[in-house]
Structure 1
Amino acid sequence: MIDDLRRLALTVLQPGYDGTSAPGWLRRALGEGLGGVVLFARNAIDAPLVASLRAENPAAVIAIDEEGGAVTRLEVGAGSSFPGNRALGVIDDVRLTERVGRQIGRMLAETDITLDYAPSADVNANPANPVIGVRSFGPDPDLVARHTAAYVKGVQGAGVAACAKHFPGHGDTVTDSHLALPTVHATREVIAERDLPPFRAAIEAGVQAIMSGHLLVPALDPGLPATLSRAVMTGLLRDELGFDGMLVTDAIEMRAVAAMFSPGEIAVRALAAGVDAVCVGHTTEDGLYEIRDAIVAAVREGTLPEERLAEAAGRVLALSSWYAERPALREKACADLDQGVGLEAARAALTTHGDAVLDRAPLVVEVNTRLSQAVDPATPTGVMAALTAVLPGTAVARMEPGGELPPFDERPVVLVVHDAARHEWVRETIARALRERPDVIVVDTGVPAEPAGAAHVATHGISRVSAQAAAEWLTR
């Protein structure tokens, strides 16, 4: 009996790990029934790595955050081949979004990854949002809904499961849930009209998974974050919206919930609330088994019904089966290379003002806005590399928040910023640069402010192709 419970408890866990090869403890846990693994750029992801994990447990759900744009795990070195959600929302061509989703799914199919923790279905209703921003298709619920559905169809059309996140919507927040617990101050009616339509659209499109957001939403539950709230996870998502797929937590080491409870208690409370899979983005052997044992103890003590744990494990295995039943879709997707779709989208998303053209190597000043912790710290803006490819001799200087601009000389100056609309200090930096050099060119890779400079290029996302599109336009 206890062995069966341990296996069920392991089935609902999806841990991450350090290192470029899977550690022995993780392999052993997979052999004991561990239901999944979440991979990050730090793991040097490739098909042989995934094959080594599947050798221990062929049914394991291998998951990854591959949103495109700023959040990429497979292409973190050079930047994503796809411009990201906001760029797709700016274009507003659902067929193009589906093509991009299919190519992201194709990339994951080639690596034999089960589940993409994407797309972000959040409506970026608050311009001050520090963690969603360009990860959202935009601030309009209808736009976000139709592109969420298109992205889901694209990824799943390639035989890889998609996951809409962060339920019930992380868009109207001013706090990064990696760092603290955000509160959504909105009525139930506003949430229904603004935040829920993209999740309804994802469910109608057949999305296989939904990820909870670590959010306090007093209109839905005044006492507990959504991840731990039965009113939100079961009452709203299951009963009202009718979702019957796998429900996974956002990473439970995020401070929004980790500051409240131990990892084991978070897992137990989330499962009791109606969650099926617990994402532990970073753990160790001891940490994993402590969570497993906490779940087993909760069942034995009657805190967590065994039927609820069995139901959760069943949904994890159902998602694994969904993937196993679609090898033909993945084979077809792998043969269907739409190689230029990312650059096509990046070019279409550019918003440009002014007429300055670069005809010689510039000085690129990277104004280093602090990106959210969802973005791998190694992710480049790509603008320096893209301009160097066209104009050899391009130089770079990096400016930290509160720092001074580098000295300017006769070279053209390109100021690369992110989310100027959100950061007053970035806008002040642009204004200061323009006082010194009115011919400064500004490239904004985030949510832009009013255009400024001899030329202003908004890419609406951080990616290799977004940078290439900007460099093409500036050297046209």
Structure 2
Amino acid sequence: MSLHRLAQGVLLPGFHGTSAPDWLVKRVADGLGGVVLFGRNVVDDAQVTALDARLRSARADVVIGIDEEGGDVTRLDAGHGSEVPGNHALGAAGDPALTRAVAASMGSRLAACGVSLNLAPSADLVLTLDDPVIGVRSFGSDPVAAGAHVAAFVEGMQAVGVAACAKHFPGHGASTVDSHAALPVLPRTAAELAAVEFAPFRAAVGAGVRSIMTGHLVVPEWGPEPATLNPAAVRVLREDLGFTGAVITDGLDMKAVGGDLAQGSVRALVAGVDALCLGGEPLDDDGLRRLVDAVVAAVESGELPLARLEEAARRTAALGTPPSSVDGHDPALGLRAARAALEVRGSLRLTGPPVVVDLAVEPSIAVGDVPWGLGPYLEELVPGTSVVSSASAAEIAAAAGDRPVVVVTREAHRFPWAREVVSSLVKIGLDLVHVETGVPGPDLGATARVDTHGGSRVCLRAAAERIAAATSSR
């Protein structure tokens, strides 16, 4: 295999458009490792299937990856919200068999579209409520319980032929910095990581996970480099956890890596990483050429051993096995799982159609611009429901009059203004239901509290059903 083909074989770029451009098809034919699909590449399943078929017509074993975590992070359903709850909701439901079934259903849908690699599940733990990027993407805080769900997800996904990817090693949950925007330094010792954060990754390895994604996270005892560029992190994965599959980078164009993309690509390969995810900022043919040239130059200069590049290309190629189409997709399963995840506290009884206030906050880059809000679902299920957009407690109270109010938040504990609105409504003395769609934070004193453990379409629908069932007709 030529050096240029080997260099191409470790790259997984993103691209613009909902069809495969000619230059990308040519690159695939010439040995490009694969692609990563984002919401910008998706219209519906039929369109994704056609896109993937064109790529596979150029080379059958091209890696086609996607970030389909379910819940808040969805690509196939980016236009209207995921049909399945995310990890935190599945963790709250507490049934690994249900998690396995949801993952198998998702995997069957991905396989039918031609996807061979799903960059999921998140194996991170919730270790601080101030974490801005993981949240409901995690199965929870308990390492053993989360590990059981991670293993179940991996088993379900891979049972239908789609490779799973446990992320973000060594674990993002203790960080208060979003690595899309800056470089987090974990406030954890190596021993603490081994005892806590590594547990879900060990469970993934035990379940046979075919890939693991490194996070752009600094562990001080491993040195100043983030795990993606750090040989010590890869050694821990290989030697301590016994992982033999493909190590994939988180997006190398994220701010946490910084610097020159070509230089970062070479450094990751030298550190022992196999596949380079380059999807956040779409590349064109010239951008890919520069990366290939940089990798080739690193081999020719001796900076990157040829054997290391060959190993990386071989492991990346193993993720491109075309999945068999499996008739296992159950579009109704997600709503059943979301219902099982709901938790209600207090007295959930509404005297009539409510006023609904969705306190929208800026989503993380990982989530992106996916529809969110309970108002439309309650309007459908409870005729007479009103939806108001004001974030002023006084204006909400004036609009409500003597009607009950449903206020909906997304991790209110992280947004003082949202927390203040809820607390002010409580002080006014309204008949108030607080629906929290993120990781549950402190109780703010509402008459009733509904925790959905996620903001996906099915989580919102399940909450609306529960509230509708508790609403009296006037």
Q: Under a length normalisation based on structure 2, what TM-score does the superposition of the two structures give?
A: 0.93
User: 2:414 pairs with 406, 416, 422, which one?
Assistant: 422
- Distance in 1 between residues matched to 2:390 and 2:232, nearest whole Å: 46
CA contact (8 A) 2:71 2:456 kept: yes
Q: Which residues of structure 1 form unaligned runs of 5+?
A: none
CA contact (8 A) 1:357 1:475 kept: no
CA contact (8 A) 2:82 2:457 kept: yes
Q: Which residues of structure 2 form unaligned runs of 5+?
A: 470-474
Of 8-17 and 422-431, more deviation after overlay is shown by 422-431
Deviations 1:130-167 (A, max 9, x none): 10111000111111111100000011111111000001
Match of 1:366 in 2: 358
Percent of aligned positions with the same letter in both sequences?
47
- Distance in 2 between residues matched to 1:142 and 1:88, nearest whole Å: 15
- Distance in 2 between residues matched to 1:463 and 1:211, nearest whole Å: 24
The alignment of Structure 1 onto Structure 2 pairs a total of residues equal to: 460
Residues 252 and 403 (structure 1), Cα distance of their counterparts in 2 relative to 1, 3 Å cut: farther
Report the 3-state secondary structure (helix = DSSP H, G, I; strand = E; otherwise coil) of the residue aligned with 1:17.
coil
Deviations 1:302-328 (A, max 9, x none): 1111111111000111222xx34x52x
CA contact (8 A) 2:131 2:176 kept: yes
Matches within 5 A, 1:63-74: 63-74=65-76
CA contact (8 A) 2:405 2:430 kept: no
**Pairing 1:460–2:438 present:** no
Q: Under a length normalisation based on structure 1, what TM-score does the superposition of the two structures give?
A: 0.92
CA contact (8 A) 2:74 2:81 kept: yes
Match of 1:255 in 2: 255
The alpha carbon displacement at 1:360 in A equals 4.8
Match of 1:223 in 2: 224
**Pairing 1:350–2:342 present:** yes
Report the 3-state secondary structure (helix = DSSP H, G, I; strand = E; otherwise coil) of the residue aligned with 1:196.
helix
CA contact (8 A) 1:264 1:294 kept: yes
User: 1:389 pairs with 380, 387, 390, which one?
Assistant: 380
User: 1:112 pairs with 111, 114, 138, which one?
Assistant: 114
The alpha carbon displacement at 1:188 in A equals 1.2
The alpha carbon displacement at 1:405 in A equals 5.6
Residues 429 and 58 (structure 1), Cα distance of their counterparts in 2 relative to 1, 3 Å cut: same
- Distance in 1 between residues matched to 2:249 and 2:394, nearest whole Å: 41
User: What value does the CA root-mean-square deviation take over the aligned residues?
Assistant: 1.9
- Distance in 2 between residues matched to 1:37 and 1:394, nearest whole Å: 44
Match of 2:178 in 1: 176
User: 1:264 pairs with 250, 262, 276, which one?
Assistant: 262
Report the 3-state secondary structure (helix = DSSP H, G, I; strand = E; otherwise coil) of the residue aligned with 1:443.
strand
Match of 2:80 in 1: 78
CA contact (8 A) 2:126 2:138 kept: yes
Match of 2:297 in 1: 297
The alpha carbon displacement at 1:74 in A equals 0.4
Match of 1:94 in 2: 96
Q: Which amino acid aligns with 1:457?
A: V
Residues 405 and 97 (structure 1), Cα distance of their counterparts in 2 relative to 1, 3 Å cut: farther
Match of 1:121 in 2: 123
User: 2:367 pairs with 360, 370, 375, which one?
Assistant: 375
- Distance in 1 between residues matched to 2:394 and 2:239, nearest whole Å: 55
- Distance in 2 between residues matched to 1:275 and 1:128, nearest whole Å: 29
- Distance in 1 between residues matched to 2:441 and 2:223, nearest whole Å: 35
The alpha carbon displacement at 1:298 in A equals 0.6
Match of 2:472 in 1: none
Of 263-272 and 421-430, more deviation after overlay is shown by 421-430
